């Protein structure tokens, strides 16, 4: 063998040998530990053992051979976690806890993970380079129920409930679902159309049952058929499905915290007890072929209990690729930070702050070196920026934060802080946003944001860019958003929800609006297809630079218009505005741009579009 | 106040104050710890805390205010127990573990204890002076199922199953029940008559499905209706209920071990995963108003998975008062010891012994000072007695036992030992033995035994006195049994079971019978009512002194006779026999006494009874 050939072959040989070696040593099957898929036995203890073994491996691959794996609370780790936008409870149950792990792949190979009672299917804590692949996450007895509307009269509705999936009792005249270790009263319903699987138009948060029905009386006609007696102000249609909301938002489907480089691939989340995949204080997240949809193997009309992908106070890059969302009971995607309120300035260079929303408390909100924005509360303008020296929690709601430099005197009690370091770049593409409760994408991050090649059939706004320091305390102001090549179909805006002022709604809550100090930065809406049946396509408030260009707006006649806003485009307190290259097809409603507190001077409006200005 | 009056009142005052004091301090309600009855939440953790607190009290009363309490495996103590006549499994789940406790009353006040998955509802270990009162023990998804027979043809049977209570799947053509953490294939059935609730005559262990049907094929007609395809040799009747036996015998309902003075009062055991109340190596047990019956609040046709009260290797006094047994899948009462086999004589004064039955191993079989009987294996005669010096377990099956005195040379390998110290007195009275699988009472103890004022509707023998050292290894020989004033009704002996040779069957398994060396001692059967429809009223084998006196035998015409034994009374290898004062009413079958290896000489047989001798 010549020396040259040797040089060429040696690395190849090393590579082959090392692949074989690591493959043989680092792959662990749950069945190797004695678990029998389909046995219905509790897999939790086996997973605990498997994950402990994975810690001794360099590149562990934990394989769940295809089959059914049941998870029960027994042997589940119970951890004290403050989870963003989630009820505070003493301990979260974590049957699959990936903690302090590196380079792990959990490869479920299409296995069914069947959960029981209230729990958090997968938890990733303090870990790095983790891939979760191929699991179907569901419950036999889910934490949401459904009922077919069998009969409707002026004073009652008869519902058929699958008692195998959602056993219930009638307790003091109320419909109360009873699961594995819990009892949970019904408190709301969402109506889905039998044929289209869409949220029935003009229901959503307007209530398919016409508002407060808490005085109802439930009667059992036979087990599985319940009569709900009440003079409902609105009544659902016979044959439609009611998703019966009950239970609390107490566990995420997957919880990612203090972790980095986390990939979800071909993961089906059919049910959760809260947010689908909740990531907080983590860096670089990839969601590829994640489906939050009703389990297609079951006659299910609902998916998870709340949001799909919820990204709170993360950084690095967030990519959502080829994901699907359908029949969620809250927004499919929400990316945001958490702003906090200044309570006191106890000593120079130190602020006492408070978490304002009861579901978002207890975070390690800032770290040494983080950049913090000081925000004036009324105008939401930036007073200054500071760099963190130290962070000290006081209790779940309060913390003290110290800065390297002096704090501007202008910052007052009641003003807000936003952490600019924990603000990711976002790329959401090639995904489908079906008919869910609420909106499609909520995004509030100063990081570069691209939303492209998606299809939206949201029942509210397709995209909401909010940001506030007064109600939800979800920061922050965007600086660079590109929304292009998306298809906004006509189900968008068929039902009313908070802040849904257009198919794209830019709605920061700024108490004192001034177009000269806009809250949001640059937003480009380019080359999209819109299919509105109603007036509002775009509503934009307090944006420094908004452009709506090269979009095609095609009127749909499928639904009756009802929105109070009677303009196609609305700019409120915006600074730089551009409308050009847009095309309208059919009897598009409004064909106008309404300016509120927005100067017409300096606006770029291409004439040949036929869009008139309404001031 | 005079000194005398003072002396009289002072103790009274002290008593009142101490009663008030202990009452106030020692009563702990589970609700005081925050548990909400009916919430469906897991009560196990709350009970753990409550029992820990009880340990700090002198006379604790743990109250479960009336309501529903759910018990799940999470937080249940898991203990390594060798349980008599029960499968050996690594750990038993003990959600209510009373361990090392004294003077405790658990007062459930009629509460429903609802268990989930496989577990042992109550465990009493190493405790003294314990009372368990007022609980209803049941499962929502029981470990036995039932099915109504909907249709019967030559090649199939259609069954209706309540899928809420007994969810199932069809797996590889087999009917497999799926519960909370388990999957369990159906393996046998018991047929109960729709109208009488009796085990259908001539089924029992003769099989209501005509024997081996393991080649059956299950087909689902609709969820809840299953067709069992097989050319059954016997077919059940349409409308009757089949109790579908599945699952293992892995946990007792209540397990009592190494304890003393234990009382059960008004306890309803509606379901178990094994023996109902299993007591072993304990002293003085009282069962008062214990009911092992199908839950009357549900359409249940079965009670527990196996026996009712199982007393193994206990001592002191056992009292069963006003208890009820119905639809158990094994004997209502079984009191016995465990005989062991001599494997080797390794050193002088020492024997190596073995537990012979795989479900009865691992016991601390003897203690210092216990009296042991050495038994010759073939004749089952006593070789000698010895006193224990020490006991040393070797493994679950083997132990070494040392004696104070020398071991008789006559004792050979293959002979047996019986522990005469762990042999209680038994008093069973005023109880009802309904239609269960197998027999009514099994009793094998040298202690004085009185069975009086009971009603028997057993489907096999009402009373079986066995004792063997060759198959079940359940010792021991009785010495003094009185059976009086009982009512043996006509369902007795309607189905065949092992050793059921008469309504009262005395059937020790003695390989080499000799009436001169009888196994059992004195048995008196006096003043009872018998209602036989078939021949065998009494079968007695190897009894030293048996008398059958002052009984009334009234023929029932309700069922067709079928038993192979065509004599009313049979004595085999008995020594002293007395038959007097008995009265026969109606067309009593046989009206005879069959003597097998039993001398007619010396038999007391009152002539005017009209009972003839058949040799």
pLDDT at position A25: 54
Q: Would you say residue B199 has pLDDT above 80? A: yes
Q: Which helix (H) or strand (E) holds A10?
A: helix A3-26
Closest CA to B144 of B171, B172, B179: B179
The answer, for B70 touching chain A at a CB cutoff of 8 Å, is yes
Question: Which of A426-440, A574-588, B21-35 shows the lowest mean pLDDT across its residues?
Answer: B21-35
Contact A42 B163 (CB under 8 A): no
Contact A164 B38 (CB under 8 A): no
Buried b (16+ CB within 10 A) or exposed e, B85-104: bbeeeeebbbbbbbbebbbb
The percentage of chain B sitting over the pLDDT mark of 70, rounded to a whole number, equals 96
pLDDT at position A475: 83
Which residue from A minimizes the CA distance to B70?
A181
Choosing among B180, B182, B222, which should be mutated to test the A contact, i.e. which has the most A CBs within 10 A?
B180
Averaged pLDDT of chain A: 95
| pLDDT category of residue A1 using cuts at 50, 70 and 90 | very low
pLDDT at position A472: 86
| pLDDT category of residue A23 using cuts at 50, 70 and 90 | very low
**Contacting residues of A for B163, CB less than 8 Å apart:** 164
Q: State the Cα–Cα distance between residues A437 and B302, nearest whole angstrom.
A: 47
Distance from CA of B57 to the nearest CA of A (A): 29
| Residue B345, helix vs strand vs coil | strand
Task: Give me the sign of the Cα torsion angle A290, A292, A294, A298.
Answer: positive
Task: Give me the sign of the Cα torsion angle A560, A566, A572, A578.
Answer: positive
**Contacting residues of B for A180, CB less than 8 Å apart:** 72, 116, 180
pLDDT in tens, B368-377: 999 999 999 9
Q: The tokens of B335 are what?
A: 């009191």
Q: State the Cα–Cα distance between residues B300 and A488, nearest whole angstrom.
A: 57
Task: Give me the sign of the Cα torsion angle B420, B421, B427, B432.
Answer: negative
Q: State the Cα–Cα distance between residues A286 and B601, nearest whole angstrom.
A: 97
Which residue from B minimizes the CA distance to A115?
B181
Choosing among B74, B161, B220, B298, which should be mutated to test the A contact, i.e. which has the most A CBs within 10 A?
B74
| Residue A203, helix vs strand vs coil | coil
ipTM of the complex: 0.91
Torsion of CA B164, B169, B174, B176, to 10 degrees: -60
Contact A85, A55 (CB under 8 A): no
Question: Which of B22-36, B264-278, B353-367 shows the lowest mean pLDDT across its residues?
Answer: B22-36
pLDDT at position B403: 97
Averaged pLDDT of chain B: 95
Q: The tokens of A244 are what?
A: 């019966």
Contact B40 A182 (CB under 8 A): yes
Q: State the Cα–Cα distance between residues A241 and A238, nearest whole angstrom.
A: 8
| Residue A324, helix vs strand vs coil | strand
Place of tokens 């009275």: B429
Place of tokens 């909740």: A278
Please list the residues that pair with A114 across neighbouring strands: A70, A138
Contact A40, B183 (CB under 8 A): yes
Mean pLDDT of A318-335: 98
Q: How far apart are the first and last CA of chain A?
A: 84
Q: The tokens of A43 are what?
A: 């897999």
Q: Would you say residue B138 has pLDDT above 70? A: yes
Mean pLDDT of A462-467: 96
DSSP alpha helices (H): ranges in B429-500? none
Give me Rg for the CA atoms of chain A: 26
Contact A73 B76 (CB under 8 A): no
| pLDDT category of residue A9 using cuts at 50, 70 and 90 | low
Mean pLDDT of A561-573: 98
Contacts of B194 (CB under 8 A, 6+ apart): B237, B239, B240, B241
Contacts of B130 (CB under 8 A, 6+ apart): B98, B101, B102, B103, B104, B105, B106, B124, B259, B261, B262, B263
Backbone angles phi, psi at A612, to 5 degrees: -95, 155
pLDDT at position B20: 45
Q: State the Cα–Cα distance between residues A435 and A243, nearest whole angstrom.
A: 13
Which residue from A minimizes the CA distance to B164?
A164
Cross-chain CB nearest to A40 (options B41, B181, B223): B181
pLDDT at position B244: 98
**Contacting residues of B for A41, CB less than 8 Å apart:** 181-183
Q: The tokens of B565 are what?
A: 């034994």
Q: State the Cα–Cα distance between residues A215 and B528, nearest whole angstrom.
A: 64
Question: Which of A67-81, A533-547, B157-171, B457-471 shows the lowest mean pLDDT across its residues?
Answer: B457-471
Q: Which helix (H) or strand (E) holds A185?
A: strand A183-192
**Contacting residues of A for B40, CB less than 8 Å apart:** 178-179, 181-183
Contact B455, B347 (CB under 8 A): no
**Contacting residues of B for A42, CB less than 8 Å apart:** 73, 181
Q: State the Cα–Cα distance between residues B328 and B351, nearest whole angstrom.
A: 39
Q: Would you say residue B5 has pLDDT above 90? A: no
DSSP code per residue over B176-204: EEE-SS-EEEEEEEEEE-TTT-SBPTT-G
The answer, for B117 touching chain A at a CB cutoff of 8 Å, is yes
Q: The tokens of A302 are what?
A: 């609902």
Q: State the Cα–Cα distance between residues B404 and B415, nearest whole angstrom.
A: 19
pLDDT in tens, A485-495: 999 999 999 99
Q: Give the Å distances, CA to CA, from B108 to B111, B117, B276.
A: 5, 22, 18
Contact B180 A116 (CB under 8 A): yes
Contact A181 B117 (CB under 8 A): no
User: What is the reported pTM?
Assistant: 0.93
Q: The tokens of A393 are what?
A: 């929690």
pLDDT in tens, B553-594: 999 999 999 999 999 999 999 999 999 999 999 999 999 999
Choosing among A69, A72, A118, A174, which should be mutated to test the B contact, i.e. which has the most B CBs within 10 A?
A72
pLDDT at position A24: 46
Mean pLDDT of B431-454: 97
| pLDDT category of residue B122 using cuts at 50, 70 and 90 | very high
| pLDDT category of residue A4 using cuts at 50, 70 and 90 | low
pLDDT in tens, A227-238: 999 999 999 999
Closest CA to A474 of A245, A288, A311, A306: A311
Mean pLDDT of A193-212: 97
Q: Give the Å distances, CA to CA, from A431 to A160, A292, A527.
A: 34, 11, 17
Distance from CA of B300 to the nearest CA of A (A): 17
Cross-chain CB nearest to A40 (options B73, B164, B182): B182
Q: State the Cα–Cα distance between residues B28 and B106, nearest whole angstrom.
A: 10
Q: State the Cα–Cα distance between residues B273 and B87, nearest whole angstrom.
A: 11
Distance from CA of B432 to the nearest CA of A (A): 35
DSSP code per residue over B97-162: EEES-EEEEEE-TT-EEEE-SS--SEEEES-EEEEEES-EEEESS-SSEEEEEEEE-SSEEEEE--
pLDDT at position B614: 95
How far is C-alpha A368 from the geometric centre of its chain's CA atoms? 28
| Residue A52, helix vs strand vs coil | helix
Which residue from B minimizes the CA distance to A39?
B183
Contact A508, A481 (CB under 8 A): no
Which residue from A minimizes the CA distance to B224?
A164
């Amino acid at each position: 063998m010549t020396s040259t050939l040797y040089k060429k072959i040696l690395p190849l040989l090393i590579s082959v040998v090392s692949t074989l070696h690591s493959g043989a040593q680092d792959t662990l099957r749950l069945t190797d530990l004695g678990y029998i898929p389909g046995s219905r036995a509790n897999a939790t203890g086996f997973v605990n053992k498997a994950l402990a073994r994975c810690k001794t491996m360099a590149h562990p691959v934990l394989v769940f051979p295809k089959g059914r794996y049941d998870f029960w609370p027994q042997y589940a780790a119970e951890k004290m976690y403050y989870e963003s936008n989630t009820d505070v409870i003493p301990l979260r149950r974590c049957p699959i806890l990936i903690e302090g792990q590196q380079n792990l792949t959990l490869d479920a190979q299409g296995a069914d993970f069947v959960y029981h009672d209230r729990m958090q299917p997968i938890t990733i804590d303090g870990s790095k380079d983790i891939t979760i692949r191929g699991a179907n996450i569901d419950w036999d007895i889910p934490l949401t129920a459904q009922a077919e509307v069998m009969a409707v009269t002026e004073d009652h509705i008869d519902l058929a409930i699958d008692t195998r999936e959602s056993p219930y009792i009638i307790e003091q005249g109320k419909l109360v679902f009873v699961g594995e270790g819990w009892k949970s009263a019904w408190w709301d319903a969402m109506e889905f159309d039998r044929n289209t699987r869409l949220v029935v138009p003009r229901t959503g948060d307007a209530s398919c049952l016409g508002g407060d029905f808490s005085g109802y009386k439930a009667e059992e006609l036979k087990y599985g058929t319940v009569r709900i007696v009440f003079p409902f102000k609105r009544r659902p249609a016979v044959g439609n499905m009611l998703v019966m909301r009950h239970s609390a938002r107490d566990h995420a489907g997957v919880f990612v915290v203090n972790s980095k480089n986390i990939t979800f691939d071909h993961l089906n989340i059919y049910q959760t007890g809260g947010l689908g995949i909740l990531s907080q204080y983590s860096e670089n997240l990839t969601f590829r072929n994640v489906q939050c949809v009703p389990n297609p193997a079951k006659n299910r009309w609902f998916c998870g209990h709340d949001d799909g992908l919820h990204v709170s106070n993360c950084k690095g890059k967030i990519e959502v690729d080829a994901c699907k969302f359908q029949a969620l009971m809250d927004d499919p995607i929400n990316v945001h930070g958490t702003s906090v309120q200044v309570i006191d300035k106890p000593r120079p260079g130190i602020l006492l702050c408070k978490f304002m929303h009861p579901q978002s408390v207890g975070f390690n909100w800032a770290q040494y070196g983080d950049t913090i924005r000081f925000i004036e509360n009324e105008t939401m303008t930036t007073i200054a920026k500071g760099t963190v020296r130290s962070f000290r929690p006081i209790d779940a709601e309060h913390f003290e934060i110290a800065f390297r430099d002096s704090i501007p005197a202008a910052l007052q009690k009641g003003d807000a802080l936003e952490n600019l370091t924990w603000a990711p770049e976002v790329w959401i593409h090639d995904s489908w946003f079906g008919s869910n409760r609420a909106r499609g994408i909520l995004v509030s991050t100063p990081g570069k944001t691209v939303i492209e090649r998606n299809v939206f059939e949201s029942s509210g706004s397709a995209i909401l860019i909010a940001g506030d320091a007064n109600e939800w305390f979800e920061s922050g102001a965007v600086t660079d958003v590109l929304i292009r090549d998306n298809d906004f179909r006509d189900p968008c805006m068929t039902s009313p929800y908070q802040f849904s002022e257009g198919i794209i709604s830019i709605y920061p809550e700024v108490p004192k609006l001034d177009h000269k100090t806009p809250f949001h930065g640059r937003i480009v809406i380019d080359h999209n297809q819109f299919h509105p049946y109603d007036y509002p396509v775009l509503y934009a408030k307090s944006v420094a630079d908004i452009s709506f260009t090269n979009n095609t707006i095609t009127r749909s006649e499928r639904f009756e218009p009802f929105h109070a806003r009677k303009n196609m485009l609305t700019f409120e307190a915006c600074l730089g505005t551009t409308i050009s290259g847009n095309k309208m097809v059919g009897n598009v409603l409004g064909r106008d741009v309404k300016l509120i507190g927005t100067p017409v001077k300096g606006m770029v409006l291409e004439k040949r579009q036929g869009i008139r200005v309404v001031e």
